[in-house]
Amino acid sequence: MATIGFIGGGNMAEALIKGILSAKVYQPKDVFVSDIRPDRLKFLADQYGVQTLGSNKKLAGSADIVILSVEPQQLNGVLLDIKDSARPDTLFISIAAGRKIQKIKDVLGNVNLIRVMPNTPARIGQGLSGIYAPENTKARLDEAASVFSSIGKTIILENEDMIDVITAVSGSGPAYFFLLMENMIQAAVELGFTQQRATDLVIQTAKGAALLAEFAKDNGQSPGQLREKIVSRGGTTEAALKVFAGGNFGALVNSAVKKAHARSKELSA
């Protein structure tokens, strides 16, 4: 059976390991992990039964697919370490933010390389991953998609620049929702709820709204149409939405997403 290796055993690597094992895409004996933290390797081995290696070079020379799952600032050092170890048929998949394919190839050479931007809900199997493969690696898109489909939904991108859009909307997006939830919880506390009850109230409201939006989409309805159905003239929802409108909420969200997009492009330059 094919093997897969993770250089870097952080939270996203763990989410992927959990996903591919749960979906039976790979067996534990076919999954390898390297990391500079021995305690982290021990945890992953004990928790998931995967194989651990102390050497990035050994992993890069052994696995059929190598996931580069380190922080962007660590990536160049890892690439220099493994550049002479990869086999010609190895598929590399980078999930490092802000590192374009050409920059990675400048170090590794003309390897098979796919770039992916997942997001944090992958940790519970509800992620969204944008996948881009250059022309010479498109034949291996299915291999990458099978890995990332195990942690949620995937979108195939035709242009690498769209990775920056995925980063701004989906990669950073959970933080936008968490910020709204955080402030709704605070308002509920100020209005008399305990912190625990306010938290439960807001989380269930957010969960229900997301599931309803997903259900409605399948029936041809947009979030805007759902919003309109809740608003009644002179009612409580209308009163709240007028405050959002007065604060230019829509323009603020638009500006925030575009700022994240611009920063992603800066990091990729």
Q: What is the average per-residue pLDDT within 119-141?
A: 95
pTM score, whole prediction = 0.91
Residues 181 and 122 both lie in one domain:
no
Residues 62 and 100 both lie in one domain:
yes
Q: pLDDT tens digit string along 193-202?
A: 999 999 999 9
**Which of the four pLDDT bands, split at 50, 70 and 90, describes residue 97?**
confident
Residue 269 has pLDDT above 80, yes or no: no
Residue 98 has pLDDT above 90, yes or no: no
Residue-range definition of the domain harbouring residue 220: 173-268
Residues 67 and 179 both lie in one domain:
no
Q: Which two tokens stand for residue 128?
A: 């969204």
Residue 250 has pLDDT above 70, yes or no: yes
Helix H or strand E encompassing 20: helix 11-22
The residue assigned the tokens 């390897």 is: 111
Residues 61 and 190 both lie in one domain:
no
Residues 150 and 44 both lie in one domain:
yes
Q: What percent of the chain has pLDDT over 90?
A: 93
Please report, as a single letter, which amino acid is at residue 130.
G
Q: What is the average per-residue pLDDT within 248-263?
A: 96
Residues 136 and 192 both lie in one domain:
no
Residue 72 has pLDDT above 90, yes or no: no
Helix H or strand E encompassing 106: helix 101-108
- How does strand 152-157 pair with strand 4-7? unpaired
**Which of the four pLDDT bands, split at 50, 70 and 90, describes residue 268?**
confident
Average pLDDT of the chain to the nearest whole number: 95
Residues 32 and 151 both lie in one domain:
yes
Instruction: Return the CATH number at 207.
Output: 1.10.3730.10
Residues 49 and 107 both lie in one domain:
yes
Which of 158, 191, 206 is the last residue in one of the domains? Answer: 158
Instruction: Determine phi and psi for 233, rounding to 5 degrees.
Output: -60, 125
Residues 99 and 187 both lie in one domain:
no
Please report, as a single letter, which amino acid is at residue 168.
A
List, in sequence order, the alpha helices (H) in 109-161. 141-148
**Which of the four pLDDT bands, split at 50, 70 and 90, describes residue 257?**
very high
Residues 41 and 81 both lie in one domain:
yes
Rg (CA), the chain: 21
Residues 230 and 150 both lie in one domain:
no
**Which of the four pLDDT bands, split at 50, 70 and 90, describes residue 46?**
very high
**Which of the four pLDDT bands, split at 50, 70 and 90, describes residue 54?**
confident
Q: Is residue 163 part of a domain?
A: no
pLDDT at 119: 96
Which of 101, 133, 158 is the last residue in one of the domains? Answer: 158
Q: Which two tokens stand for residue 206?
A: 């957010």
Helix, strand, coil in percent for the chain, rounding step 5: 60, 15, 25
Residues 189 and 219 both lie in one domain:
yes
Torsional class of 79: left (φ above 0), alpha (ψ -120 to 50), beta (otherwise) = alpha
Q: Is residue 165 part of a domain?
A: no
pLDDT at 1: 64
Q: How many domains does the chain have?
A: 2
Torsional class of 250: left (φ above 0), alpha (ψ -120 to 50), beta (otherwise) = alpha
